[in-house]
Amino acid sequence: MTKPILLSTPHMGSDELKFVQEAFETNWIAPVGPHIDAFEQEFCQVIGASHAAAVSSGTAALHLALRLIGIEPGDEVVCSTLTFIATASPITYLGAKPLFIDSDRTSWNMNPDLLRETLAKRSHQGKLPKAVVVVHLYGQSADLAPIVEACNEYEIPLIEDAAESLGATYKGRSPGTFGQMGIFSFNGNKIITTSGGGMLVSEDADLVTKARFLATQARDPAPHYQHSEIGYNYRLSNVLAGIGRGQLRILADRVAARRHNFGTYQQALGKLPGIEFMPEATFGRATRWLTCLTVDPDTFGVDREQIRLALAQQQIEVRPVWKPLHLQPVFTECECIGGAIAEDLFDRGLCLPSGSNLTSEDLARVIQAIANLHP
């Protein structure tokens, strides 16, 4: 039977189990404990952030970030359109409405010019959005400098969704550390994983303290369980934080392995007519969390869906690039500024198997399967 090759699977190192065992031996099987504190500190060191709160998912971290900014029903929040639903769903948890912005071709992320124009226009109309959520897609940072500048000009808080881009850089620094808050994910398919988990980071200690408070049912400092606000149960387990500590130690290896996948694919397939790989913007280093490419069906001979189906028959999992959020049935009421680039990337874009644990035989099988489709 043919071995399935999946898109992105967990890849444990040698320390994770040791940390988990430690949690068992000390009976810290709870959403508090020494691994959580250490994971938060070590995470800050790795990405160069000042404060971090470990939580149960990246989505939870985004929800907390928006709540801390004070997003309310009826507010408008700017959001990248080319992304996974979790970038935008927390906006709707708070009763606010996303305003989507198209990508640029250099990074596939939010187009800073469109953001600036949109904020200028909204300012003119006297109804500025309450926040901007920018995503760093597939391991590549958005062009942060002009985005930060536009947000500063209109005094709008910036939240960075760096769920897919832990280990990347923008001008030498980690994305997620440029906005008022940044969030990361340790879901099973991400570059490092705790099976499920997330992190909220900020330079502002008060925001992170408040995030922990809200993530722990917003319990006032009283012995009798008093609550003046409604909170959530969003804290990460100490057991899972142990996995995270182990994973964090080998992040650089995982980035190297994913970049190696990309290089191997690009070398073998990059010269085929109609195949173009996701560019790496000059302002930073991408992790290549997922290797993405676009297919021009007229030149290549088959389209991305035919490739996907042919590879699925050979037990190789490939996926289309994210369907833009402005095309999602749940967001038909929401406005999108531009959208043609995100739509084109969705129509022609494909994500290849990209796990850091793929073997050279796995990569060769994927390459052969795609090359065979070119007439």
- The residues that touch ligand PLP, with contacts defined as CB under 6 A, are 57-59, 83-84, 86-87, 135, 161, 163-164, 185, 187, 198
At 200 the three-state DSSP class reads strand
State the minimum distance, in angstroms, from the CB of residue 160 to ligand PLP.
10
Based on CB atoms, which residue is closest to ligand PLP, 248 or 370? Answer: 248
State the minimum distance, in angstroms, from the CB of residue 3 to ligand PLP.
26
At 115 the three-state DSSP class reads helix
Based on CB atoms, which residue is closest to ligand PLP, 66 or 269? Answer: 66
Alpha helices in 48-142 (DSSP H): 58-69, 89-93, 112-124
Place of tokens 């953001």: 115
Instruction: Pick the closest to residue 232 from 352, 46, 103, 94 (CA basis).
Output: 94
Q: Which residue is nearest to ligand PLP (CB)?
A: 58
State the minimum distance, in angstroms, from the CB of residue 298 to ligand PLP.
31
Q: Is 73 exposed, middle or buried (0-12, 13-18, 19+ CB in 10 A)?
A: exposed
State the minimum distance, in angstroms, from the CB of residue 243 to ligand PLP.
14
What whole-number distance in Å separates Cα of residue 152 and Cα of residue 222? 39
State the minimum distance, in angstroms, from the CB of residue 109 to ligand PLP.
11
Based on CB atoms, which residue is closest to ligand PLP, 87 or 291? Answer: 87
Based on CB atoms, which residue is closest to ligand PLP, 43 or 300? Answer: 43
* Residue 79 DSSP label: E
| 29: number of Cβ within 10 Å | 11
Based on CB atoms, which residue is closest to ligand PLP, 28 or 108? Answer: 108
Report strand pairing: 97-101 vs 76-80: parallel
